[in-house]
Amino acid sequence: MSPRAPRNPARRDQLLDAGLAVLAEQGARGLTFRAVDARAAVATGTATNYFTDRDALLAELGERIHARLEPGEEKLDAALAGAPAPAVMRRMLSRVLERREVYVALLELRLEATRRPALRASLTATVRARFEQDVAVHEQAGAPGGRRAVALLHHAMEGLILDQLTLPEALGDPAEAGEVAGQLAELITRGV
């Protein structure tokens, strides 16, 4: 969290969600405190009371995005209970596509990280921590392939998600994306 931490966590979340929307709609260049305030329908200057600077806002957006993309407890329990990887990957793709704005904001944030070393470090730490959680869940469920399979699944799903969010008709029928996610998982976990 940034050094300025007003005591209203609901307002902070409201501002972060507004920031996600601005990031998804306008890209990183459109992400200003004024734009966040306007999107959140709060008084101009409110965001500056919550985030010390733009870098702090970007770093917290990275954490918020990943928190919003996390599966619910019941979905996590299903994965831990040994749901087959294809079913888990289909659910994950569906969850991402239902939260399109959040994932587009993540893509924008990743692009911005190529120009901001501090953001790159922060986002790398966040993604690495999430990856380690995925590895732990994968291993707890007794799924095959371990860390290598999880890394391959991440790489494959990132590409599929990018295609579905940006050019869904380019490589096939978007209605078949869930089946493609399942096939990727099947091939990766079988081949590792």
For the chain, what's the residue count?
A: 192
Average pLDDT on 24-49 reads 96
What is the C-alpha to C-alpha distance for residues 129 and 108, in angstroms, rounded to an integer? 20
Q: Are residue 94 and residue 173 in the same domain, yes or no? A: yes
Integer Cα distance of 183 and 87 in angstroms: 10
Residue whose structure tokens are 């405190």: 33
The model's confidence at residue 81, banded by pLDDT at 50, 70 and 90, is: low
Residues 154 and 187 in one domain: yes
Residues 56 and 75 in one domain: no
Q: Which domain holds residue 48?
A: 9-64
CATH code, domain with 153:
1.10.357.10
Q: Token pair 């392939």 is at which residue?
A: 145
- Taking all residues of the chain, what is their mean pLDDT, rounded to a whole number? 89
Domains held by the chain: number: 2
Q: Answer yes or no: do 99 and 161 share one domain.
A: yes
Residues 86 and 69: their CA atoms lie apart, in Å, by 18
Asked if pLDDT for residue 84 goes beyond 80, the answer is no
- Cα–Cα distance, 66 to 44 (Å, whole number): 27
If asked whether residues 177 and 113 sit together in one domain, one would say yes
**How many Cα neighbours within 13 Å face the side chain of 171?**
12
Q: What is the pTM of this model?
A: 0.84
Q: Per-residue confidence at 2, pLDDT binned at 50, 70, 90?
A: very low
Residues 144 and 178 in one domain: yes
- Indicate which CATH number applies to the domain containing 15: 1.10.10.60
Each residue of 47-64: pLDDT tens digit? 999 999 999 999 999 999
What pLDDT, on a 0 to 100 scale, did the predictor assign at position 80? 54
